[in-house]
Structures are given as structure tokens and as C-alpha cells.
Amino acid sequence: MISEASARSPPWPKSLARACLFCRARKIRCDTARPRCAACVIQKRECTYKVGTPNPRNLGEYREERVERITASTIDDLADECVKRGLHDREAFLSTIAEYNRAVYAHRKENPQMVWNPTVRDGLSTQSATIQLALATSNWALPIDKGPFLAVKVTCGITFTFGGLSVDSETAQVISSVTGKGVPGVYCVGEMIGGLFYSNYPGGSGLTSVAVFGRRAGRAAAQFAALSRRANPRPTAIKL
């Protein structure tokens, strides 16, 4: 759930309101990319945003044509609207937001020098000496207490795993953990590949991995199938 003000615009801003300070000063269109917009990358400079501007990362995610938007002027009204659309526990909804807000303000009270900055890990958290949430927000923790409010239905999705099957980098052939050798005729691409990333990953690298290893796996599988047909016209079961 986010403030409605941060989700009213299309992915390319029509005004300078959400542009970084560099693009705003020159009145050029800013793509609001993280951690630096395209203009700042070209200029080889840091990309900073005015404190208090909506987080550009959310602008394209919650457009009306993409999600079911639920809006209200107060949290209580928002809870009522969500109940109409399938929310099962209104009180849990309200208590969760209240607990989150208390945690945000407790951290701010202990760290008054910290300010919200969407371009870096700003340290604004829900974890303080007095309150620590079971599921922490480690950065960019803003209170949810000023309307209007916007809620959207979301679901989890897996881009890829940080752990996965070990493969040959040239053929995407699966490597056996027992023998350390490739398993004949078995290839792996996409979200099941392991050994590429840890902790975090560059944006778009999942698609790049799919394209690269998908092509290599397809080529290797075709070569393996052709050789197998020549050696044995009848298909045989592969023992792993």
C-alpha cells in the first residue's frame, strides 16, 4: 500500500515533479531509473532526488490499466473498501498498519538526522531499540498515515533463485553434484540456474541470463539429439 500521490502518473513523467535534480535543473525528461537515471549515467554524476518526492520506482507499477486500484481518504475507509474486494480480516489490516507506523516513528525519534532518499539505502527503518517488527523494513520506511491512500492487490513471483542447479557455462548442461561432470542430455535455463548472483542482481540480468543460456542450451541439445540419433535410432532412457 502506498500514498495515492505516488502512483498517479505514467512511467515517463509528464512534468519535472518526479525528475532528479539534475534533469529538473535542465528541464529535460528524466527516466527516474535506479540508482541513476540515463542522463546522470551519461554525465557520470550522482543522481539525487528532492526529499519528499514520490518514489519513482512505484510510478509504473500501479497504473490504472495494470492493477485494481482501491482508494480512500482514511485508513478506516480503505479497510472497508478492501473488505468489499476480498480482505478477510479488517482488524488485522488496521493493526498491522498501526504497528508499522509506530515502528517508523520510533526509529525516526532515535535517528532524527536521517532523511528519506530513494536513490540510496537511506537507513530509514522499522527497527529501533524500543520496537522491532518481525518483518523489517530496512530502508525507505515512510509512515502510512497521510491520505489519500491507495491499495492494490499483489502476488508473489519468482524472477530466479540465487541458489539453483550448477550448469556448464558454455552449454547450460546440468553438472552432477556426485560426479562433477555434465549429465548427458539434461540442460537448465531460466530461474533454475544457480551460481550467477548472490545478495542482489542488476536489473534486467534475469532476462539476459534466459536469452544467453537458452540459446546455448538449445544449440547443445540439438547437437546432442543429432548425435544420439546417429548412434542409436531408438530413444533410450537416460540414467542420472
The answer to whether 127 and 138 are in contact (CB under 8 A) is yes
Q: Where are the domains of the chain?
A: 2-152, 173-231
Q: Report the DSSP beta bridge partners of residue 167.
A: 174
3-state secondary structure 49-84: CCCCCCCHHHCCCCCCCCCCEEEECCHHHHHHHHHH
Q: What pLDDT, on the 0 to 100 scale, is given for residue 8?
A: 39
Q: What is the pLDDT at residue 10?
A: 38
Q: Which residue has the higher pLDDT, 56 or 95?
A: 95
Q: pTM for this structure? A: 0.53
The residue that leads in pLDDT, 83 or 12, is 83
pLDDT at 7 over 50: no
Contact indicator for 11, 29 with CB cutoff of 8 Å? no
Q: Residue 1: which pLDDT band, with cuts at 50, 70 and 90?
A: low
The mean per-residue pLDDT over the stretch 231-239 comes to 65
Q: Return the pLDDT at 102.
A: 98
